[in-house]
Amino acid sequence: MCVTVNHCETCDRCVQGQFSTKSDVWSFAVTLWEVLSLARVQPFARLDDEQVIENCRLYYIGFGVTANASPPPVLLPQPPGCPKEIYDLMCECWQRDDALRPTFREIHMFLQRKNMGYSPHDDALVSASISFV
């Protein structure tokens, strides 16, 4: 569901060397994840480069298919204070099948709808709900 390589490289790029608008959608979602984490958390900071690539491979080719099933890939968690709808959008952008990922137009429309009725005093509520150790 939620995997990156070098912070925002997609499995398409890592495993198959493919670049597309859909891989850019993946990278956008990782960047959004980093912003909503207030850039205080690096994606997969606990994994070294080889583990990140293996994690990507597990995600891309699947896991748990054989009797000697590999462990599931490490997933990016929902950032503290991040609305469920925004995290769900990120996870849609991280679909293994790039055909299932939204387009930038769809992302833009979704974010515009989420922004309807926004009030600047809402920032205080969001800031109060985000805490990092």
* Beta carbons within 8 Å of 104's beta carbon, 6+ residues apart: 21, 24, 25, 28
pTM: 0.68
Structural domain contains residue 6: no
Structural domain contains residue 62: yes
Structural domain contains residue 52: yes
Structural domain contains residue 69: yes
Structural domain contains residue 3: no
* Structural domain harbouring 60: 11-129
Query: Is 22 within 8 Å of 92 (Cβ atoms)?
Result: no
CATH no. for residue 45? Answer: 1.10.510.10
Q: What are phi and psi of 5, to 5 degrees?
A: -130, 135
Q: How many domains does one find in the chain?
A: 1
Query: Is 13 within 8 Å of 23 (Cβ atoms)?
Result: yes
Structural domain contains residue 5: no
Structural domain contains residue 68: yes
pLDDT by residue, tens only, the chain of 133 residues: 444 444 444 555 555 556 788 889 988 998 999 999 988 878 878 888 888 888 777 776 765 444 455 666 777 899 999 999 999 999 999 888 889 999 999 999 999 998 887 666 655 555 555 554 3
pLDDT at 2: 47
pLDDT at 14: 52
Structural domain contains residue 1: no
**Which segments of 1-133 does DSSP mark as H helices, in order?**
11, 21-36, 49-61, 84-93, 104-115, 122-129
In angstroms, what is the C-alpha Rg of the chain?
A: 16
pLDDT at 67: 41
User: CA-to-CA distance for 71 and 68, rounded, in angstroms?
Assistant: 9
